[in-house]
Structure 1
Amino acid sequence: MPYVTRDSDGRITSIHIERDSEAHEEIDVSSSELQAFLEKSGSTQHGLLKEDLAASDIDMIRVLEDLIAVLIDKRVINMTDLPAAAQTKLSRRYGLRSKLTDLGSIVGDSEELMLP
């Protein structure tokens, strides 16, 4: 059976496989309280994982933009080889980056804003 720690209000805060100085209360695995804690913890973990994934998506978008720019610069592909929707989206992003770069000293020195 697992052991749990509780906060000052008596709510489960962690689960342990073995008894230790903090987790000394044994609880039945079928306990509704334990099941509720596990469900809540799972959804919290799921939420954190989704946030991390979304943050990495932004980074990956920039990596893909840079990769496409390198392939175009090296003439491995042409912009016209891409689907029309991709051409439109890339052109829009390049235009936005160009406008930011044109702002000069405010953001012009930022490596993140450099065009391909």
Structure 2
Amino acid sequence: MYVKRDAQGEIQQVRREPDAQCSEYLAADSLELQAFMIEGDPADDVVHFQASDLAFVRVLEDVIELLMDKGLIRFTELPEAAQRKVMERQSLRHQLNGLNLVSDQEGDDDVI
């Protein structure tokens, strides 16, 4: 993501593509960017905790996938509510990848 800052260095605007005003790149998982996106003060501990939760969701997705790939757990062993949430996240991630908003390639700076 590309950001525009005010005189105090606070994020004012975010864009997917750089332009004359938004030229500074921040990773999508940046705590500062996440705090801005949920309209909080980055110095606020609650905002940092919420941003950390958002980033941690991806870690849990990867752990669940790894455990299933290694045959240590089966998808059907997860509680029904967890199965629904995992399927929903996979579907959303697939849709985002289809729109080229998320990239697994390193150095792909112009794509989230």
Q: TM-score by structure 1 length?
A: 0.50
C-alpha deviation, 1:58, in angstroms: 0.6
Matches within 5 A, 1:1-116: 48-103=44-99, 106-107=100-101, 110-111=103-104
Give the partner amino acid of 1:79.
F
Two-structure CA RMSD over aligned residues (Å): 2.2
| Counterparts of 2:93 and 2:51, CA distance in 1 | 20
Counting matched residue pairs gives 64
Identity of aligned residues (%): 41
Gaps of 5+ in 1: 1-46
Who wins on radius of gyration, i.e. which is larger?
A: 1
Normalized per residue, the structure richer in helix is 1
* Structure 2: gaps (5+ residues): 1-42, 106-112
Higher relative contact order (CA 8 A, sep 6+): 2
Q: Distance in 2 between matches of 1:51 and 1:95?
A: 27
Give the TM-score taking structure 2 as reference length: 0.51
CA–CA distance in structure 1, aligned partners of residues 72 and 98 of structure 2? 29
